[in-house]
Amino acid sequence: MKIKTVIIVFTFTAILASCKKENNTKNVSPKLVADTTSISFGTIGTIGNVVKKNFILSAAGNEVISWQATANSNWFHLSQSLGEVLSMKDTITVSINTSTLTYGNYEGEIIITPFIKNVVQTPITIKVTANINVQTIIGYALTKDETWSGNILLTGDIVIPSGFSLTINPGTKIMVAYQDLSFDGGALPNGVDFDVKGNLYLKGTANNPVQILSNYDTSAREVWKGIFLNGHLEMTYCAISNSHYGIFIFSSVTNAPLIKHCQFSTITTSMVDFSAVETSFSNNSFINVQEGYSLFVSNKHASIDSSLFNNNTLTDVSISGVISNIISNASINVTNSNFSNNHWNNLMLTGYGYVTNSKITATNCYGINTYSTNEYGNTIILQNQLLTPNQKVGCGFTLSITSQSMKAEHILSPNALQTENEKALILNQKHKIQ
């Protein structure tokens, strides 16, 4: 009998608990519930991508609730506008395409109307906000001195005429458009460039470098054209990425540029130098580029100090000539610098007799493994090569680099390199005539 009594009590208790639970469910008024009353995308400093946020709709009570959602603004979009919930929940994605938005604050609302047995219930309102902290500059020729700051989408060439200056403040991030230029009046057609006939000052700091990079694909080269110098340039703590040329120094330049603590990455040719004035560069980083520094003028001396050359596909430092522009008596001194993972030549003087009686001297450097042979009166001199890397070399700040993988087909042949050098010569001659 004791066993029976236990069984009866247990069964009765379970039935009471089940009934109580059922009664509690029936007592809950059916209602559509959103897990938030507001969605904030915050401050967005990079445009060109799609940003997403989610919210969840669920049902209270024991009724099927259908719903319809509408947005009162077209700057954001909903992943779905109709649905129904009971035991399952609906997750709705709110997205904004930042490439369609301009600088400023954005506000809007999502109005969700519930229906229970086709009867309209009290709507739910969710507030949506975003701040686009990117200014769009369409490109133009300066008519006065200008200073830039903040996040900028650049959609056209910037021409700095003689007598005018453009100053770019610390922390400025310039994202360059790939196609559909709004102004194409710079040094090269069909791509954004800075055409500097006046003065360009890029004034970054170690904690807030200036950045100029692609808005389209940060892993690609030649998205934009580069900085073309016919005037004066001073750039410190600056990162240049995704261009064809980093800095192209024309033969008309008579005032040596200051380029120090700068990073050149994912570029075809980082620095092309046709100027006759003696140039000196220090504490720069050349990472994932085809060519680092290339000197294209006779009877000139250049020096490079405390720089980093890493993962480059062709030449790190070179004196370059072509059949129509033979270079002679040029020299480059490289000191206290580190080299690693180059796919061809760390140091190079163009062969075929296009460079003669010229010299590259490397002193207190680490990692130089490949270099061109001494011929046509050219010499490469290695002095006190180090077994351990130099300290405190390179640009002095850290930025992530998204790069294309290094495949064999990406590495130019010597003939293709000559073609690239011919292009540089033609470009210099064109601007020399102008």
Alpha carbon dihedral 147, 151, 157, 163, in 10-degree steps, equals 10
Query: How confident is the model at residue 402, as a pLDDT?
Result: 56
Q: Render each residue's pLDDT in the chain as its tens digit; 434 residues.
A: 344 443 334 343 333 344 444 444 456 789 999 999 999 999 988 777 899 999 999 999 888 999 999 999 999 999 999 999 987 899 999 999 987 888 889 999 999 999 999 999 999 999 999 999 889 899 999 999 999 999 999 999 999 999 999 999 999 999 998 876 889 999 999 999 999 999 999 999 999 999 999 987 888 889 999 999 999 999 999 999 999 999 999 999 999 999 999 999 999 999 999 999 999 999 999 999 999 999 999 999 999 999 999 999 989 999 999 888 899 999 999 999 999 998 889 999 987 789 999 999 999 999 999 888 788 999 999 999 999 999 999 999 988 765 544 333 344 555 666 677 888 888 888 776 45
Contact between 362 and 379 (Cβ < 8 Å): no
Beta bridge partners of 339: 309
Quote the Cα angle for 147-246-224, to 5°: 80
Q: For 92-113, what is each residue's pLDDT tens digit?
A: 999 999 878 888 899 999 999 9
**Type of residue numbered 86:** L
Output phi, psi for 417, to 5 deg. -65, -40
Longest dimension (CA), the chain: 116
Alpha carbon dihedral 17, 22, 26, 30, in 10-degree steps, equals 110
Query: How confident is the model at residue 46, as a pLDDT?
Result: 77
Which CATH architecture fits 31-132?
Sandwich (2.60)
Distance CA 200, CA 68 (A): 55
The helix (run of H) or strand (run of E) holding residue 12 is helix 2-27
Handedness of CA 224, 228, 232, 235 (dihedral sign): positive
Residues with Cβ within 8 Å of residue 287, at least 6 apart in sequence: 263, 264, 265, 266, 308, 310, 311, 312, 401, 403
Q: For 150-185, what is each residue's pLDDT tens digit?
A: 999 999 999 999 999 999 999 999 999 887 688 999
Output phi, psi for 93, to 5 deg. -100, 130
The CB density around residue 269, as the number of other CB atoms within 10 Å, is: 29
Residues with Cβ within 8 Å of residue 410, at least 6 apart in sequence: 313, 404
Distance CA 87, CA 69 (A): 20
Pair type for strands 77-78 and 146-148: unpaired
Query: How confident is the model at residue 14, as a pLDDT?
Result: 37
The CB density around residue 95, as the number of other CB atoms within 10 Å, is: 15
Query: How confident is the model at residue 409, as a pLDDT?
Result: 38
User: What pTM did the predictor assign?
Assistant: 0.80
SS3 147: strand
Query: How confident is the model at residue 26, as a pLDDT?
Result: 53
The Cα-based distances of 326 to 258, 303, 357, 384, 425 in angstroms read 27, 21, 11, 31, 11
| Residue 32: exposure state from Cβ atoms within 10 A (0-12, 13-18, ≥19) | buried
**Type of residue numbered 55:** F
Contact between 96 and 78 (Cβ < 8 Å): no
